[in-house]
Amino acid sequence: MRILNLILAEASLILAINVAEKSPLAIFIPTKLLYLLLILPVAFMLLRRNPFDIPILILALSLVTVKLLTNSEAFYSLLDALYYLGYTGISEYLNSVFSAYKGSCLVQLTGIVVMFTIAQISWRMEEKLKELGIDMKYPLVVLGAVGVVVFLFFPILAEFRFKELPLIFLGLLGLCLTLLAIYVLAT
């Protein structure tokens, strides 16, 4: 399971570095150096820790965040604040840099989170299933299948334009989801 998690962690970091290479970060630091981060999961494994633990996820998310900032309203409002406070030069420079890299990275982000989830579940399952005397093969296949389904369909679902739907339909959908949540919590 260590090897599987190591592979997943390395794949996630490569995805995150690829996103970082196509983000404003590439202007400020040489992105080739980021590949040194791939040593971290190996180090985790040598320390007998889960190679794809929360710190690796935080690292991957940090790399992707620079790209996410290009679409962030909060970031642009911060630039506006800098402009208002008199730092017009830096504000205009950052605005021009980040605006040039605008774009979505939902697929890569979905891939990273799905791999993290699979790694976490498989890591916790291994010991428990061994204790119960259950073969890991079938649960892993099911886990992988669920992961593939989520990876394939989640971006489609997330990019669905809810804004274009009629308001009455959205209201009914919200009501149904509330009732479903009450039912789930009650049972």
Partner 1 sequence: MKVRAVTRSLVCASLLMLTWGILITSYELVAVSFIPLLFLAVPYRVSCSVVEAKISGDCYVGEEFRVDIRLRALGFGILKAMHELPEHFEVVEGQNAVARFVLGGEDVRISYVARPMRRGKYDLSRIVLEMEHPFLAWKTLEELRANLEIEVRQRLRRITRIDTVRGVARSPIPDVDLSKIGVPGTDFREIRDYVPGDPMRFVNWKATARRGKLMVNQYEVEGKKAVWIFLDANDYMTYGKSVRNYLECGIEITNALAYHFISRGHKVGLTIVGNGVVLYPDVGKRQFKRIGEELMRVEAGKEDLKRAFENCKKMISIYKPLLIIITRPEYSNPMDVVSEGMRARIPVQIIALKGKVEGDDFAVRLFELLRRSAIGRLRRVNVIEWDVEKPVRRLIARVVG
Q: Which residues bind partner 1 (CB under 8 A)?
A: 54, 57-58, 61, 65, 68-69, 71-75, 104-106, 109-110, 112-114, 116-117, 120-121, 124-125, 128-129, 132-135, 138-139, 142-143, 146, 150, 154, 158
How far is it, in rounded angstroms, from Cα 12 to Cα 114? 9
Shortest distance in whole angstroms from residue 134 CB to partner 1: 5
How far is it, in rounded angstroms, from Cα 15 to Cα 18? 5
How far is it, in rounded angstroms, from Cα 6 to Cα 147? 17
Whether 154 contacts 113, CB under 8 Å: no
Is the Cβ of residue 95 or residue 117 nearer to partner 1 in the bound state? 117
Q: What is the DSSP letter of 163?
A: G
Is the Cβ of residue 89 or residue 159 nearer to partner 1 in the bound state? 159
Q: At a CB cut-off of 8 Å and minimum separation 6, what does 4 contact?
A: 119, 122
How far is it, in rounded angstroms, from Cα 151 to Cα 157? 11
Whether 8 contacts 119, CB under 8 Å: yes
Shortest distance in whole angstroms from residue 33 CB to partner 1: 24
Is the Cβ of residue 88 or residue 182 nearer to partner 1 in the bound state? 182
Is the Cβ of residue 88 or residue 179 nearer to partner 1 in the bound state? 179
Shortest distance in whole angstroms from residue 139 CB to partner 1: 6
Nearest to 113 by CA among 16, 4, 17: 16
How far is it, in rounded angstroms, from Cα 186 to Cα 184? 5
Shortest distance in whole angstroms from residue 168 CB to partner 1: 24
Shortest distance in whole angstroms from residue 109 CB to partner 1: 5
Is the Cβ of residue 168 or residue 184 nearer to partner 1 in the bound state? 184
